[in-house]
Amino acid sequence: MSKPESQATNFVRDIIKADIEAGKIKPEAVVTRFPPEPNGYLHIGHAKSICVNFGLAEQFGGKCNLRFDDTNPAKEEQEYVDAIKEDVRWLGFTWAGDVRFASDYFDQFYAWAQHLIREGRAYVCDLSAEQASEYRGWATKPGKPSPYRERSAEENLDLLERMKNGEFDEGSKVLRAKIDMASPNMNLRDPVLYRIRKQSHHHTGDKWCIYPSYDFAHGQEDAIEGVTHSICTLEFADHRPLYDWFLENLPVPSRPHQYEFGRLNLDYTVTSKRKLKRLVDEGHVDGWDDPRMPTIHGMRRRGFSARAIRNFCDALPVAKSDGVVSIAQFESAVRDDLDKHAPRAMAVLNPLKLVIENFAEGAVENLSAPRHPKEDMGERRLPFTREIVIDAADFTEDTSLSRKKFKRLVLGEFVRLRGAYVIKACRVEHDANGQPATVFCELVENTVGEDPPEGIKPRGVIHWVSMSEGRKATIRKYDRLFLDAAPDKGEADFLTHINPESKAVLENCWIEPELAEALPESCFQFEREGYFVADRFDHTSEHPVFNMTIGLRDTWSAKQ
């Protein structure tokens, strides 16, 4: 069970290993859990947590539960439940048994709340939210007891039952634990256990008028499920004494322990669910699965593979401190994955028409090229015809440019078409604005896969697509959503940092014919352009749609 040298630091793994070696637990008895609240779509930070929780269970032969902490009906929806399950499956993980919900345990939570009241450790409080805040004190000032703190157990049980039955208005009463109003830990100053919320719940319907707080539900859920290592992010460290207090004061069936690790933060990224929801609700993006979003749905639609996301997360340490990871590091992991697994193809995003005058009109010569330069993926068909398109940026009439500065097609000179002939640009026709519209060329015979005759020196190699055999396609180009490395820091609204050029839709693009038949979510390297994916929803053979995943290299850092 020794840690391979290639594995990133993971203090929780080391704790589990030590527990096993000390005989405290058997490897197969290790139980972790991933407990998202279904109030939004999962993002890259959740992907890290998923990899940690499911990965540790897999490593030790234990199990990991998927549990929805659905204690707030005002913000939770079935749509989010379904999306989260899909994300976990897509990342390649399988949860133990059935999906679990905090709401599955609502009856038990209520019974335990009654238990705390009988033991003199909980009471119903009538303070308003403003009054409760005032009574709570400050970090440097002790709180003072609620005037309702000493109600009898009988009165509290009666009031709680009536709260459950819907007799009181929202906000008029809460159930609070009776702990220590002078505690330096604000979480222990008589925290709320139940609030009145007369809202329908996605899982329990209208059965309940009161709902437990996350703090009251969390540890008890772990105990019911036999979780051995409850792994949270650092913001829950101050909640651990409360987590332990509940376990110590309730007749729970097991005693889990909470561990906290630093969450994954990326620069140029926002991962607050509230802010992500604002981006969606206000129309700044095209939904939770917009390829510019850091959601798992968004990354999937952009063409990031589950394998690349897992490799990236697994390479990061599981440490006891927060930090910010460069998004360039994440993008590098995506490039490394795509470079190995993405077949090559050609697409022209800004087309300029070429006519090969010494190639027969109507003729089609089927050339071929490898689908990948290193991996064995077979060959692809490259139909060559009299009329082709190249990228407009690959042609110039300026013959003064040196070969070092411009390694493409120049009027009167030669260039090689990728996987095809060497051609020479002979003359050009212009449009009404004086821009090149059609370039008339001649090919050099017997140069497919062969060097040209002596004296002919192509400037470089450019990509192309046949106009008669290729297909028209829509290509969506994406860039980073934010211009600032820390968009949600400082006083300015994070929306002021949105990159206005983060999305461009190109309609007049040309692709190799086989690309039109690509299955949705198939990824390709469009030679000299970047990595692209067939859109998982919009792509069809009749109307091909590709999303740009990432460029061939990191040009953003150089620009900055």
Average pLDDT score over residue span 156-180: 98
The confidence score (pLDDT) of residue 300 equals 98
Average pLDDT score over residue span 131-142: 94
> In b/e form, how buried is each residue of 453-483, taking b as 16+ CB within 10 angstroms?
eeeeebbebbbbbbbebbbebbbbbbbbbbb
Nearest CA among 172, 180, 178 for reference residue 137: 180
Measured from the Cβ of residue 557, the count of other Cβ atoms closer than 10 Å reads 11
Examine the pLDDT at 8 and tell me if it is beyond 90.
Answer: no
Query: DSSP assignment, residue 102?
Result: G
Measured from the Cβ of residue 238, the count of other Cβ atoms closer than 10 Å reads 13
CA terminus-to-terminus distance, the chain: 45
Question: Do 205 and 78 form a contact (C-beta atoms < 8 A)?
Answer: no
Examine the pLDDT at 157 and tell me if it is beyond 50.
Answer: yes
Question: Do 269 and 326 form a contact (C-beta atoms < 8 A)?
Answer: no
pLDDT confidence bin for 182, thresholds 50/70/90: very high
Query: Catalytic pick from 176, 273, 335, 503?
Result: 273
Average pLDDT score over residue span 82-88: 98
Q: Which residues sit opposite 388 in a β-bridge?
A: 354, 466
Examine the pLDDT at 112 and tell me if it is beyond 50.
Answer: yes
Query: DSSP assignment, residue 236?
Result: G
Nearest CA among 247, 254, 253, 255 for reference residue 121: 247
Nearest CA among 396, 390, 444 for reference residue 422: 444
Nearest CA among 518, 538, 520 for reference residue 347: 518
pLDDT confidence bin for 116, thresholds 50/70/90: very high
pLDDT confidence bin for 554, thresholds 50/70/90: confident
The confidence score (pLDDT) of residue 262 equals 95
Between β-strands 264-266 and 323-325, what pairing exists: parallel, antiparallel or unpaired?
Answer: parallel
For 235-270, the pLDDT digits (tens) are 999 999 999 999 999 999 999 999 999 999 999 999
Q: Percent helix, strand and coil across the chain, each rounded to 5?
A: 30, 25, 45
Distance CA 265, CA 324 (A): 5
Measured from the Cβ of residue 543, the count of other Cβ atoms closer than 10 Å reads 12
The confidence score (pLDDT) of residue 376 equals 96
pLDDT confidence bin for 130, thresholds 50/70/90: very high
Question: Do 432 and 505 form a contact (C-beta atoms < 8 A)?
Answer: no
Examine the pLDDT at 555 and tell me if it is beyond 80.
Answer: no
Examine the pLDDT at 6 and tell me if it is beyond 70.
Answer: no
> Crossing angle, helix 214-225 and helix 240-249, to 10 degrees?
60
The confidence score (pLDDT) of residue 285 equals 98
Examine the pLDDT at 4 and tell me if it is beyond 60.
Answer: no
Average pLDDT score over residue span 378-396: 97
More confident call, 4 vs 92? 92
What is the residue-averaged pLDDT of the chain? 96
pLDDT confidence bin for 5, thresholds 50/70/90: very low
The yes-or-no answer on residue 310 being catalytic is: no
pLDDT confidence bin for 324, thresholds 50/70/90: very high
Average pLDDT score over residue span 302-329: 95
Q: Which amino acid, one-letter code, is at 424?
A: K
Place of tokens 């909470």: 258
Distance CA 498, CA 279 (A): 10
Measured from the Cβ of residue 526, the count of other Cβ atoms closer than 10 Å reads 25
Query: Catalytic pick from 37, 387, 514, 527?
Result: 37
E-assigned strand segments in 209-284: 210-212, 229-233, 257-261, 264-266
Distance CA 23, CA 442 (A): 79
Q: Which residues sit opposite 476 in a β-bridge?
A: 505, 547
Place of tokens 């005759």: 453
For 263-308, the pLDDT digits (tens) are 999 999 999 999 999 999 999 999 999 999 999 999 999 999 999 9
> In b/e form, how buried is each residue of 357-385, taking b as 16+ CB within 10 angstroms?
eebeeeeeeebebebbeeeeeeebebbbb
Query: Catalytic pick from 263, 277, 307, 407?
Result: 263
Question: Do 279 and 271 form a contact (C-beta atoms < 8 A)?
Answer: no
Average pLDDT score over residue span 74-91: 96
The confidence score (pLDDT) of residue 559 equals 66
Examine the pLDDT at 169 and tell me if it is beyond 80.
Answer: yes
Kindly report the length of the chain: 560
The yes-or-no answer on residue 273 being catalytic is: yes
Question: Do 265 and 45 form a contact (C-beta atoms < 8 A)?
Answer: yes
The confidence score (pLDDT) of residue 560 equals 60
Examine the pLDDT at 1 and tell me if it is beyond 50.
Answer: no
State whether the Cα torsion 44-48-49-54 is positive or negative. positive
The yes-or-no answer on residue 37 being catalytic is: yes
Average pLDDT score over residue span 509-526: 97
- Please give the radius of gyration of the chain, using alpha carbons only, rounded to the nearest integer: 31
Query: DSSP assignment, residue 552?
Result: S
The confidence score (pLDDT) of residue 558 equals 64
The confidence score (pLDDT) of residue 509 equals 98
Q: Which tokens belong to 30?
A: 């290790």
